[in-house]
């Protein structure tokens, strides 16, 4: 049962780790916005691809986590 619950966690854990690595790169506000837009466009494109449809959580998760990081950057400044 625990294996089934952790099976879908890759869609949250992997993008979270990628965004955590991007935070250390100290990206500017405009670079973060481009990253969010690219993640959303990639998600939309992957929905129509037969094989990539199963991995659509990766770019959308990166876009979501990047958006949260962007909001937090604006709050702290």
Buried b (16+ CB within 10 A) or exposed e, 20-54: eebeeeebeeeebeebbeebbebbeebeeeeeeee
Q: Which residue has the higher pLDDT, 2 or 77?
A: 77
**pLDDT tens across 20-71, in order?**
888 888 888 888 888 888 888 988 888 888 887 777 778 888 888 888 888 8
Neighbours of 4 (CB within 10 A): 7
**pLDDT value of position 8:** 64
pTM summary value: 0.69
Q: Is the per-residue pLDDT at 6 higher than 60?
A: no
**Alpha carbon 31 to chain centroid, angstroms:** 14
């Amino acid at each position: 049962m625990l294996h089934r619950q952790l099976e879908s966690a890759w869609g949250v854990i992997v993008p979270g780790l990628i965004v955590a690595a991007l935070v250390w790169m100290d990206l500017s506000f405009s670079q973060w916005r481009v990253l969010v837009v690219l993640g959303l466009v990639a998600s939309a494109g992957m929905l129509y691809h037969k094989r990539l449809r199963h991995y659509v959580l990766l770019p959308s998760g990166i876009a979501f986590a990047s958006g949260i990081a962007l909001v937090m950057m604006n709050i702290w400044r």
